[in-house]
Amino acid sequence: MPLINTLGMKVGSEKTFGAGYNVLPVWKKRLDPKTRVTTPNSDVIYAMSYLDLGRDGRMVFEAPPGLQGILLDFWQRPIPVDGGKFFGDVGLPGPDGGKGGKFLILPPGYTGSVPSDYYVYRSGTNNVFVFLRSFYQDPNDLSGAVATMEGARIYPLGATSPKPMEIPDASGKPVNMLPISDATAFDELKKLVDSEGSNLADPDWLGMLAGLGIVKGQPFNPDAGTRAILDKAAKTAYRMSRVIGFEEKLAGRDFRVYPDRRWVNPVADGTPQNPGGPFDLAWRRTADGYTDLDTRIWFFTDYYSISPGMLSQIPGKGAKYMIAFTDSRGTPLSGDKNYSLKLPPDVPAANFWSVTLYEAENASGYASGRPFPSLGSRDKPKQNADGTTDLYLGPKAPTGKDANWMETVPGKGYFAILRLYAPTEAAIDKSWKPGDIEVVE
For the chain, the three-class secondary structure string (H helix, E strand, C coil) is CHHHHHHHHHHHHHHHHCCCCCECCECCCCCCCCEECCCCCCCCEEEEEEEEHHHHCCEEEEECCCCEEEEEECCCCECEECCCCCECEEECCCCCCCCCEEEEEECCCCCCCCCCCCEEEECCCCEEEEEEEECCCECCECHHHHHHHHCCEEEECCCCCCCCCECCECCCCCEECCCCCCCHHHHHHHHHHHHHHHHCCCHHHHHHHHHCCCCCCCCCCCCHHHHHHHHHHHHHHHHHHHHHCCCCEECCEECECCCCCCCECCCCCCECCCCCCCCECCCEECCCCEECHHHHHHHHHHCCCCCHHHHCCCCCCCEEEEEECECCCCCECECCCCEEEEECCCCCEEEEEEEEEEECCCCCECCCCCCCCEEEHHHCCCCCCCCCEEEEEECCCCCCCHHHEEECCCCCEEEEEEEEEEECHHHHCCCCCCCCEEECC
Q: Are strands 389-394 and 405-407 parallel, antiparallel or unpaired?
A: parallel
Q: With 50 as the cut, is the pLDDT of residue 276 above it?
A: no
Q: With 50 as the cut, is the pLDDT of residue 275 above it?
A: no
338-361 pLDDT, tens digit each: 999 999 999 999 999 999 999 999
Average confidence (pLDDT) over 35-46:
96
Q: Which residues contact 46 (CB under 8 A, 6 or more apart)?
A: 26, 27, 31, 40, 131, 132, 133, 170
Average confidence (pLDDT) over 257-264:
95
Domain spanning 9-176: which CATH class is it, in words? mainly beta
In this predicted model, which residue has the larger pLDDT, 155 or 309?
155
Least confident of 18-32, 158-172, 182-196, 268-282: 268-282
Other Cβ atoms closer than 10 A to 276: 7
Q: With 60 as the cut, is the pLDDT of residue 299 above it?
A: yes
Q: With 80 as the cut, is the pLDDT of residue 98 above it?
A: yes
122-151 pLDDT, tens digit each: 999 999 999 999 999 999 999 999 999 999
Domain spanning 254-439: which CATH class is it, in words? mainly beta
Q: With 50 as the cut, is the pLDDT of residue 23 above it?
A: yes
Note whether 166 and 22 are within 8 A (CB).
yes
Q: Where are the domains of the chain?
A: 9-176, 184-244, 254-439
Percent of the chain with pLDDT over 70: 96
| Average predicted confidence (pLDDT) for the chain | 93
Q: With 90 as the cut, is the pLDDT of residue 269 above it?
A: no
Q: How far apart are CA 361 and CA 354, in angstroms?
A: 22
Q: With 80 as the cut, is the pLDDT of residue 287 above it?
A: no
pTM: predicted TM-score of the whole model, two decimal places: 0.94
pLDDT in the model for residue 272: 53
